[in-house]
Structure 1
Amino acid sequence: MELLNTSNITMKFGGLTAVKELNLEINKGEIVALIGPNGAGKTTAFNMITGVYAPTSGRIFLGESDITGAKPHLITKKGLARTFQNIRLFKELSVLDNVFIANHLHLKSNIFEAVLHLPRYKKEKKSILEKSLFLLEKLDLLSFKEDKAKNLPYGMQRRLEIARALATNPQILLLDEPAAGMNPRETDNLTSFIKDIRDEFELTIFLIEHHMSVVMGISDRIYVLDHGVTIAVGNPYEIQNDQRVIEAYLGVSEDA
């Protein structure tokens, strides 16, 4: 079942084409990676899909919903959540509060009910607290629940950001360089962690990542961008042996 589809999405900034006619097809339950050298257009692609940018041309579909140019919070409500390369947490708030706040996207009670602590709000608040604690337990963060987010080790901050994304009830989770800043041990743990949350929460995962050990270790399929253009699509073995990909990453000598 196809969950995310982009049809010839293009992003231009003045005379610069950052991404040209990108076509993605991501099926339910897959782990798909988007890779390429620095400046290839990967984050621009993520920003179009998540509503940060409206594509210059092309369409984006989440299931049967056309989400092209929709606001980020509306896209999130439809079931697409993301993390960022630069961690974006409420650093002065507790670990629990960070996840608790993310749940409010789906609140049905209004501010009037919240201020007066009316029954519907109290029931929802209890449910959100239980869900937040459940997510912290599943992501091995429960023992840190009262700690300020800024005091967590770096790898745990990454987990917390993912916990917040999971609190929005996504169908598909976009991870923007989840291994950035991690040491080798944390990077190794991340590979199994991503697989585990895919299975535990029945997710589809789409990620940008520079660590090839992570990409090759977890991806069902890989898209490769170079200067905004798709140069290869395939499984890890096919990508590792694609001459165009090798040249994009390593260059090619004049003799060659």
Structure 2
Amino acid sequence: MEILKTNNITMQFGGLTAVKDFNLTLNKGEIVALIGPNGAGKTTAFNMITGVYKPTKGKVFYKGNDITQLPPHQITKSGIARTFQNIRLFKDLSVLDNVLIANHLHIKSNVFEALLRLPKYKNEDRKMINKSLELLEIVGLSDEKNEKSSSLPYGKQRRLEIARALATNPELLLLDEPAAGMNPKETEDLTRFIKTIRDDFKLTIFMIEHHMQVVMGISERIYVFDYGITIAHGSPKEIQNNQRVIEAYLGVEDNA
């Protein structure tokens, strides 16, 4: 079942075309990767899907609905969550509070009920706290729930960002370089963790990643960008043996 589709989405900044005619299809339950050299336009593609940028051309469809012009918070509310290449936590807030904030996206109580702490709000608040604690347990951060997020090691900050994304109840999760800055052991743990949350939360996952160990280990399909253009798409084995992909990553000599 198709969950996300893009039709020729293009992003231009002045005279620069960052992404050109990107056609993507994600099927429910898949783990799909987007790879390419630095500056290839991968994060720009993420930003168009999540509403940070409005495509210069083309359309984005989520579960058959056109979301191209929706603002980011409405796209998140519809079921698409993301993490960022540069971790964006509330650094002065506790680990628990970072997850609680994301839970508020789906709160039904109004401001009046919240200010007076009426029963409806208190009941929702209790459920949000319990859900947040459960998520922290799942990502292995329950012991650090009262610590400032900025005090966590880098790998745990990545896990906290994923927990915060999961708190929005997504069906589609976009991960922007989740293994960036991790050591080999953390990278191995993350690979298993991504598979686990895909299965446990019944997610579809679309990720940008430079660690080929992660990409080849869990991706069912891979898209490859170079200078904003899709130069290849296929299974991990097909991508590994694609000469154009090899040239984009390693380069070729002029007389090759």
TM-score, normalised to structure 2, is 0.99
Distance 2:53 2:254 in 1: 38
| 1:184 aligned partner | 184
**Structure 1: tracts of 5 or more residues without a match:** none
Kept after mapping to 2: 8 A contact 1:53/1:69: no
**Residue correspondence of structure 1 range 33-72 to structure 2 within 5 A:** 33-72=33-72
Please tell me the residue identity of whatever aligns with 1:18: A
Aligned length: 256
Kept after mapping to 2: 8 A contact 1:48/1:69: no
Distance 2:253 2:151 in 1: 47
Deviations 1:83-142 (A, max 9, x none): 001111111111111101110000000111000001110110011011111111111111
| 1:105 aligned partner | 105
How far 1:188 moved relative to its partner? 1.3
Please tell me the residue identity of whatever aligns with 1:130: N
Distance 2:69 2:87 in 1: 24
**Residue correspondence of structure 1 range 183-222 to structure 2 within 5 A:** 183-222=183-222
Q: Is 1:15 aligned to residue 15 of structure 2? A: yes
| 2:166 aligned partner | 166
Distance 1:161 1:133 in 2: 14
Kept after mapping to 2: 8 A contact 1:219/1:236: yes
How far 1:187 moved relative to its partner? 1.0
Deviations 1:205-249 (A, max 9, x none): 000001111101110000001111101000100000001100101
SS in 1 for 2:17: strand
How far 1:69 moved relative to its partner? 2.4
SS in 2 for 1:224: strand
**Structure 2: tracts of 5 or more residues without a match:** none
SS in 1 for 2:89: coil
* Identity percentage of aligned residues: 72
**Residue correspondence of structure 1 range 107-256 to structure 2 within 5 A:** 107-256=107-256
Please tell me the residue identity of whatever aligns with 1:184: P
Distance 1:22 1:214 in 2: 23
Runs ≥4 in structure 1, deviation > 4 angstroms?
A: none
Distance 1:246 1:220 in 2: 19
